[in-house]
A and B are shown apart, each in its own frame.
Chain A
Amino acid sequence: DGGITQSPKYLFRKEGQNVTLSCEQNLNHDAMYWYRQDPGQGLRLIYYSQIVNDFQKGDIAEGYSVSREKKESFPLTVTSAQKNPTAFYLCASRDRVAVNTEAFFGQGTRLTVV
C-alpha cells in the first residue's frame, strides 16, 4: 500500500542531544513537508522540499535541520539549539505538479525531552 511512514512513533531526548525523525514515502511525490503540532496552535511548517537536493525553511525552522538526498526520504533533525522540542511532529507529502491535490500525512512522532 502507498503511504507515508514516520518512525519512531515515540521518541525521548535528553537535554543537549540531537535526534533524527524519519519520514519515508512511496507515493512518488516530489514535495515533502515537516510540521510541528502543539496544543492550541495547530500545525506550523518547519521545512519543506519540492525536489530532491532542495529544501526551504518554513515558519519555525530555527533549531531544526533537514536533508533530501532521495525522493522517498525527508528526515528531520531536532538539534540541541531547539529550546522547546517537546511536540508532535507530522510529515506530509504532496504531488508537486497537481497543486489541487491534498497532502498525505504520516502517523506522527511524539518527541519528549526528559
Chain B
Amino acid sequence: GDSVTQMEGPVTLSEEAFLTINCTYTATGYPSLFWYVQYPGEGLQLLLKATKADDKGSNKGFEATYRKETTSFHLEKGSVQVSDSAVYFCALSLRDGNNRLAFGKGNQVVVIP
C-alpha cells in the first residue's frame, strides 16, 4: 500500500547547523507531498508542500523538493535555531478520491544552543 518512510531516530544538532531529514514514499499514483511540524503538546501544523514532480516547497527557511525519480521529499534547513526543536512528519496524499493522508513516523529534532 501507499506509505511514507522517514529516517530512523531523533536528530540532535547544534544551533546554526545544517538539517536534513530524509523522506521516501511508495505510491501507485502521483501523490501530493507535505511536511508537518509538531511542537510539544500541540497538534500538527503544515510546514510546506509540493503537488507535482520537481516542485520545491519552502517556508521559514525550510525547503523540500519533490523528486519523482527517487520517490523522495527530503526536508532541509541551512541554519537551525533552538526554536526549530520539534517533531517533523512527512505525509502524502493520493489523488484517488479517498482523501486519505499517510504519515511517516516522525523525527524528533533537538537543537542545542
**Which residues of A approach B to under 8 Å, CB–CB?**
4, 6, 31, 33, 35, 40-43, 45, 48, 50, 58, 90, 92, 94, 96, 99-100, 102-108
Contacts and interface: CB of A to CB of B under 8 A. Distances in A.
A90 B104 contact: no
A99 B45 CA distance: 17
Contacts of B32: 99-100
* Most chain A beta-carbon neighbours within 10 Å: one of B36, B45, B51, B99: B99
Chain B interface size, as a band, is 20 to 34
Given A42-B89, A99-B32, A107 B42 contact: yes
Given A33-B101, A41-B105, A43-B103, A99 B43 contact: no
Contacts of B100: 45, 48, 58
A107 B40 CA distance: 10
Which among B44, B45, B49, B98 has the highest number of chain A CB atoms within 10 Å? B44
Contact of A48 (B44, B89, B99, B104): B99
Given A43-B44, A94-B99, A103-B101, 18 more contacts: A4-B43, A42-B89, A42-B106, A43-B106, A45-B101, A50-B98, A50-B99, A58-B100, A90-B44, A94-B101, A96-B99, A99-B93, A100-B49, A100-B93, A105-B43, A105-B44, A107-B42, A107-B43
